[in-house]
Amino acid sequence: MKFGFSLIFGAVLTLLVILAGLFVPWLAPFDPVLDADLMSSELPPDATFWFGTDGQGRDVFTRILYGAQISLTVGIGSQIINTMIGIFLGMTAGYWGGWWDDAVNGLTNVMLAIPSLIFALAVMAVLGPGLVSLLVALGITNWSWTCRIARSSTLSLKSMGYVQAAQTLGYSDLRIMFTQILPNMMGPILVMASLGMGSAVLSEAALSFLGLGIQPPFPSWGSMLTDGAKSIQLAPWAAIFPGLAIFVAVLGFNLLGDGLRDLLDPQMRTRKV
Amino acid sequence: MFRFILRRVLQIVPTVAVIALIIFVIFSVVPGSFATSLFSDGRNASDPALIARMNEQFGLDKPIYERFFAYVSDLAQFDLGTSFRTRRPVVELIGERMGASLELAAAAMLFAMVVGMPLGFIAALRPGSVLDTTTMIGAVSGLSLPQFWLGLILMYVFALKLNWLPSFGYGDGSLKHLILPAVTLGVTPLALLARTTRACVLDVLSGDFVRTAFSKGLSEAQVIRRHVARNALVQIVTTIGLLFGSLIGQAVVIEKLFAWPGIGSLLIDSVAIRDIPVVQGTILVIVLWFLLINTVVDVLYALIDPRIKQE
């Protein structure tokens, strides 16, 4: 089994972001909210403030480390919700067929027609800004591709000998789905989840930019970027570094997804899209 | 072919109907209304009698099912309602801004095609080369960039520092105002198009007919022009269509960043003040545009490849 560059580099970047999020209290030199000092606002990067300070004199590096927690929570949390919805709907549609399959297919087509950011925007407008709203908005709007993959995998797996054997043994439908079919389709589902985490982090940043994400003073990369945009002429570092953090995290998730896909389907290595 | 086109067009109707229902339900459970949001900034005292009168005026005091039937019957007559804020028909508001959105999406797509397709093509012809690796790294980076951050950096460099281009706005509609938002919006489709083109060309290159063409003694240039490019383009054109269909929806943040007067910024402004008819109308138009472009792509694909029609 050959581990490609994408997989290794993606895993390293993702691990870096996860470690930053987990060990932030030990890594961060300042407090992300309380260490505001207007006397040291908009200072350029130096030995004390590695990424400079923002308009309220808070250390940008510290806030980026704390922002990793929120971005990871949004990325991983929303993908858990999306994956669970996608797997349940796709697997039951593929296994049971009939009117349920038609209904799920119809709903999936509808969901694919609405741009996920627009749908998340509408849901956020209803729920109001905040972390839980973000998780719900991004968690219920991006399951269509997972659902399609789960459905097509179930359609091909349900004719396998071991599934038919389980049916003969009198296993219930749900038991067959969760013990015989689900473990055998986790590969492509994991690829979708990894790619979906990247897009969730991007969507969180976009919604925060539109004023619907995490509210100040708590640091999320999107809200830091929004704050930084206001003073870009005087302190560009306050916008540049949060954007770079988003880029590194999303690149990590995307490369990890690409690498996993290559690993699971070697034919894709030469013709990946 | 006529029946095929008719069937594809009719398939849009139930999808739009379900989406209209979803949007209506979502915005009917919004706590508060346009009237309460008008007074929420503290500048005006909230007078319950005034709020009740405004709700009555906008029909927001009626039961939800009555409002839904009125909404559906208006929709069937292509009436998207009247804006709470401006008291003008939503169709008119969207019509005024659709041109700017289409202009931005078309410019972004053009940028993506002009840069992305040749890069993907050259990368596929020399797989494993430095150019191929660089292009693919660039493509995955392009897909990972937060678009509005890129826009912000471009704005900082080309508008604020170098003073070459205007930082925001539509201005007099000149090309200068279009460049920064179009390049920002075009980066993601560029990356996708470069990857798709590379994959399609690699697929075609492995075909038997290409090997046959080479064995007939045709030069590389002849094989590429006559056989590879033509066959790869069928799939690439499909991707271009699908990307173009989704660009108006993706442009929402870019329009807001560059204060571009399209339907994306209309949507964001209307969400903020709960001008629900405008929000519902713009989302429906964005979805309808996506579905229509999808249908046109399907029909074009069937015209080019008869096997699709038979399926």
Q: What span, in angstroms and rounded, lies between the C-alpha atoms of A206 and A131?
A: 14
pTM of the prediction?
Answer: 0.85
Write down the mean pLDDT value for chain A: 85
Closest CB from B19, B192, B271 relative to A121: B271
Q: Do A115 and B249 touch (CB under 8 A)?
A: yes
Please, which pLDDT band fits residue B20 given cuts at 50, 70 and 90?
confident
- Is the CB of B125 inside 8 Å of chain A's CB atoms? no
- Is residue A272 scored above 50 in pLDDT? no
Please, which pLDDT band fits residue A35 given cuts at 50, 70 and 90?
low
Nearest in space to A258 (alpha carbons), one of B300, B144, B189, B172 = B144
Mean pLDDT highest for which of A31-35, A100-104, A207-211? A100-104
Sequential DSSP letters for chain A: -PPPHHHHHHHHHHHHHHHHHHSHHHH-SS-TTT---GGGTTPPP-SSSTT-B-TTS-BHHHHHHHHHHHHHHHHHHHHHHHHHHHHHHHHHHHHH-HHHHHHHHHHHHHHHHS-HHHHHHHHHHHH-SSHHHHHHHHHSSS-HHHHHHHHHHHHHHTTSHHHHHHHHTT--HHHHIIIIIGGGGHHHHHHHHHHHHHHHHHHHHHHHHTT-SSPTTS--HHHHHHHHHHTTTT-THHHHHHHHHHHHHHHHHHHHHHHHHHHH-TTHHHH--
Task: Calculate ∠ Cα B154-B270-A238, nearest 5°.
Answer: 30
**pLDDT average, residue stretch B245-262:** 90
Rounded to a whole number of angstroms, the distance from the CA of A172 to the nearest CA of chain B is 33
**pLDDT average, residue stretch B181-188:** 95
Burial label, A132 (beta-carbon count in 10 A; 0-12, 13-18, 19+): exposed
Which comes out higher in pLDDT, residue B154 or B13?
A: B154
Residues recorded for chain A: 273
Q: What is the ipTM of this complex?
A: 0.83
**pLDDT average, residue stretch A44-57:** 80
Strand partners, A53: A59
Q: Are A208 and A222 in contact (CB under 8 A)?
A: yes
Q: What's the pLDDT score for residue B280?
A: 87
Sequential DSSP letters for A14-55: HHHHHHHHHSHHHH-SS-TTT---GGGTTPPP-SSSTT-B-T
Q: For residue B105, give the 3-state DSSP assignment.
A: helix
Q: What's the pLDDT score for residue A273?
A: 44
Name every chain A residue with its beta carbon within 8 A of the beta carbon of B286.
115, 118
Q: Do B149 and A121 touch (CB under 8 A)?
A: no
For CA atoms B166, B172, B174, B180, the dihedral sign is positive
Q: What span, in angstroms and rounded, lies between the C-alpha atoms of B46 and A38?
A: 36
Please, which pLDDT band fits residue B273 given cuts at 50, 70 and 90?
confident
- Is residue A52 scored above 90 in pLDDT? no
Q: What's the pLDDT score for residue B262?
A: 93
Q: For residue B45, give the 3-state DSSP assignment.
A: coil
Q: What's the pLDDT score for residue A100?
A: 93
Interface of A with B (CB under 8 A): 6, 106-107, 109-110, 113-115, 117-118, 121-123, 125-126, 198, 202, 205-206, 209-211, 225, 229, 232-233, 236, 239-240, 242-243, 246-247, 250-251, 254-255, 258, 270-273
**pLDDT average, residue stretch B184-212:** 89
HSE (CB half, 13 Å, CA atoms) of A159? 4
Q: Do A115 and B279 touch (CB under 8 A)?
A: no
Nearest in space to A229 (alpha carbons), one of B271, B135, B157, B148 = B148
DSSP class of residue B305?
-
A150: its two tokens:
């789960």
Q: Do B195 and A205 touch (CB under 8 A)?
A: no
Q: Are A234 and A42 in contact (CB under 8 A)?
A: yes
Q: What span, in angstroms and rounded, lies between the C-alpha atoms of B275 and B258?
A: 22
- Is residue A1 scored above 50 in pLDDT? no
- Please write the tens of the pLDDT for every residue from A86-95: 999 999 999 9
Which residue shows structure tokens 């969207």?
Answer: B94
- Is residue B224 scored above 60 in pLDDT? yes
**pLDDT average, residue stretch A119-131:** 83
Q: For residue B237, give the 3-state DSSP assignment.
A: helix
- Is residue B158 scored above 60 in pLDDT? yes
The widest CA-to-CA distance across chain B, in whole angstroms, is 87
- Please write the tens of the pLDDT for every residue from B226-240: 888 878 887 788 888
Q: What span, in angstroms and rounded, lies between the C-alpha atoms of A214 and A228?
A: 15
Q: Are A272 and B201 in contact (CB under 8 A)?
A: no
Please, which pLDDT band fits residue B184 given cuts at 50, 70 and 90?
very high
Q: What span, in angstroms and rounded, lies between the C-alpha atoms of B71 and B20?
A: 9
- Is the CB of B268 inside 8 Å of chain A's CB atoms? yes
**pLDDT average, residue stretch B22-34:** 71
